[in-house]
Every structure is written in structure tokens, then in C-alpha cells.
Structure 1
Amino acid sequence: MSGNPPPSALKKLPPGSARFLMPLVLSVFMSAIVSAVATATSVGLGSDFVVTWPNAWGASWIVAFPSLLLLLPVVRRIVAWMVAQP
């Protein structure tokens, strides 16, 4: 038996942290996908991709995370304006 606590016993972050955590996680995934597509288009899927992509991902994430922090409230307002509220 391992000494790890069951997942339900792990302490969660406070609700206010979701405001930063959601853009963080989203920026990691989206910058990874977009930089992978751009890198594959540029250099192909060979050994150059493996060497080039991590740098492209890092540069993309550095731009993506602060951009999401700034733009997400604006996007939420635009979507709220476009969608009927319950």
C-alpha cells in the first residue's frame, strides 16, 4: 500500500485562485498546440521539430498567459452580451 492520500483528501486551492489558474492552464495547453502546429508547418515533424518546438512553446506561453489574464474579462463581457442570460 502506498503512502499517498486518496485524491479526495488533497487540499484544494481557494475559489479566488480560479481567476488565475484557469488562464494559466488554458495558456499552457493552447500555446503548446498552436506552437506545435506552427513549428510542424515550418520545420516538419522530424528531429528539427523536437529541438525547435520547446523554445517556440516557451516563447508562445510567455505571450499567451499575460494576454489571457488581460483579455479573459473582456471576452466574458462580449460573450455575456451575445448570449441570453438565464
Structure 2
Amino acid sequence: MPAERPTIIGNIPKLPAKWATIVMPFILSGLMSGIISFINMLRNLGWIDGFMNLWFHNWMISWAFAFPIVLILLPLVRKLTGKLVDLPAPNSPK
């Protein structure tokens, strides 16, 4: 009998580990673009009628730009981080 894969909710299986390089930037770009767009809209427009619908629409547009930008810039950010931070080698004890 094959080993059961871990699940997220119900019978939905977790993604393989290789997907972490896409899932993490996807979630992070969504959170950041949502928070930033919310704060900017609230500061510029105040709490107006229809604010949440307008914000959600603008957030989705922001996220559509943020996610690919994060994917493109992530290797550069990792390289810059390596120059600023003394990171251990990938397979060495910490």
C-alpha cells in the first residue's frame, strides 16, 4: 500500500517541496500588495462608499504586477543578501 501524501484540507494533497520557490513569493507578493494598496487608498481617499470593492479591484491589479516582479527580482535580492549577510553554506551545519 503506497504511503499517503500529507493533505492541506480534506483530500487536497500538499504540493511537492519544489513548489515552495513559487508559492512563497506568490503569498508574500499578495500580502504586501494588498496591505500597501489598502494603506495608500485609505490615505488618499479616506473611508468612502464602495471602498472595499475599489480596494479589492486595485489590489488584484497590483498583485498581477507584484508577483512577476518578485519572481524576476528574487535572484538579485538573494545575491545582494549574500553580500550583506554571512550565510552558512547550503549543506553545512548551522
- TM above 0.5, yes or no, is yes
Give me the whole-angstrom Cα distance separating, in 1, the residues matched to 2:23 and 2:53. 29
> Take 2:49 and 2:68, find their aligned partners in 1: how far apart are those partners?
31
Runs (5+) with no aligned partner, structure 2: 8-12, 89-94
Q: 1:61 maps to which residue?
A: 63
Q: Give the 5 Å matches for 1:1-86.
A: 9-10=6-7, 11-86=13-88
The TM-score, its normalising length taken from structure 1, stands at 0.82
Q: Which runs of 5+ in 1 are unaligned?
A: 1-7
Q: Confirm or deny: 8 A CA contact 1:35 1:53 kept in the other structure.
A: yes
Question: Normalized against structure 2, the TM-score is what?
Answer: 0.75
Please state how far the C-alpha of 1:77 moved relative to its aligned partner: 0.8
Bigger shift: residues 46-55 or 76-85:
46-55
Pairwise CA RMSD: 1.6
> Could you tell me whether the CA contact under 8 Å between 1:27 and 1:61 is conserved in 2?
yes
The runs of at least 4 aligned residues of structure 1 exceeding 4 Å deviation read none
Q: How many residues align?
A: 79
Identity of aligned residues (%): 37
